[in-house]
């Protein structure tokens, strides 16, 4: 090997080492000076089912975001300028994305995992939180807001004294995003259609059969993967629904012919 070739190889190695050192320095400066945190999948944190804000110290917060079709929880929070927030992201159903517009936060909400990043909000203003991973028919409406302001948060509204009317079965299907995977008109979707479902004979993935009576439907809502219908994947997430609302949903499904 010639001396010239050896010299070129040395320059390549030195250039590569300098590039790695420079990149490492930029990352370290971003974390130290600007408060940026690298997106991280946390293997030692269990997925959570509730969104919340935890105050760790003055201007230091944990924000636990729960993504579900089609909203973020919490949907609206206020923190003062100069705050550093540790963002933890989990999902209650399918895969979602989360981008905080105006920051470097861009995370994925993946079933069974928690993703994390840190961000510092130096500038006051309203930061929009959007889902940037298609997650169903109402994906475009999935958003939340972070208000970075010195003003104290507005007091909570007075409680409503009159009891709200209970939601009907079809409204409950929309509330729990059931129609994102189950059609009402027989159209093919990720889950079996509700049209003609009640009283029908269902062939299950294990080769057995079951009749879609009230008990079957209630079990399918409470334990969605207890009896998987042949031809469909067991991907329906478990959702806590009050018994009265489950019965209302079943009564509505009975009417979908």
The C-alpha atoms of residue 144 and residue 153 are separated, in whole angstroms, by 16
Tens of pLDDT, residue by residue over 209-224, are 999 999 999 999 888 8
Tens of pLDDT, residue by residue over 32-71, are 554 455 567 777 788 888 899 999 999 999 999 999 888 9
Which numeric CATH code is attached to 169-255? 1.10.760.10
Name the 3-class secondary structure at 155: coil
| Residue 239 pLDDT exceeds 80 | no
| Residue 20 pLDDT exceeds 90 | no
Q: How many CB atoms lie within 10 A of CB 34?
A: 12
End-to-end CA distance of the chain: 82
Look at the chain and count its residues.
257
| Residue 134 pLDDT exceeds 60 | yes
137, 155 contact by CB (below 8 A): no
Domain regions of the chain by residue span:
40-148, 169-255
Which numeric CATH code is attached to 40-148? 2.60.40.420
- pTM attached to this predicted model: 0.54
CA 137, 138, 139, 140 dihedral sign is positive
């Amino acid at each position: 090997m010639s001396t010239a070739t050896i010299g070129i190889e040395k320059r390549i190695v030195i250039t590569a080492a300098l590039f790695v050192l420079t990149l490492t320095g930029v990352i370290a400066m971003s974390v130290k000076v600007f408060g940026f945190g690298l997106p991280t999948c946390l293997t030692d944190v269990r997925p959570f089912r509730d969104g919340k804000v935890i105050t760790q110290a003055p201007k230091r917060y944990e924000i636990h975001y729960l993504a579900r079709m089609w909203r973020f929880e919490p949907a609206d929070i206020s923190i003062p300028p100069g705050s550093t927030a540790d963002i933890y992201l989990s999902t209650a159903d399918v895969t979602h994305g989360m981008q905080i517009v105006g920051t470097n936060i861009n995370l994925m909400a993946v079933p069974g995992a928690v993703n994390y990043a840190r961000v510092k909000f130096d500038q006051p203003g309203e930061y929009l939180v959007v889902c940037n991973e298609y997650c169903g028919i109402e994906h475009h409406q999935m958003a939340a807001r972070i208000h970075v302001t010195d003003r104290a948060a507005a007091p909570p509204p007075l409680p409503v004294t009159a009891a709200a009317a209970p939601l009907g079965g079809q409204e409950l299907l929309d509330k729990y995003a059931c129609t994102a995977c189950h059609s009402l008109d027989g159209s093919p979707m990720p889950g079996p259609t509700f049209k003609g479902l009640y009283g029908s004979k269902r062939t299950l993935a294990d080769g057995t059969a079951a009749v879609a009576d009230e008990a079957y439907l209630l079990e399918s809502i409470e334990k969605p993967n207890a009896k998987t219908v042949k031809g469909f994947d067991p991907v329906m997430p478990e959702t806590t629904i009050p018994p009265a609302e489950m019965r209302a949903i079943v009564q509505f499904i009975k009417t979908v012919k």
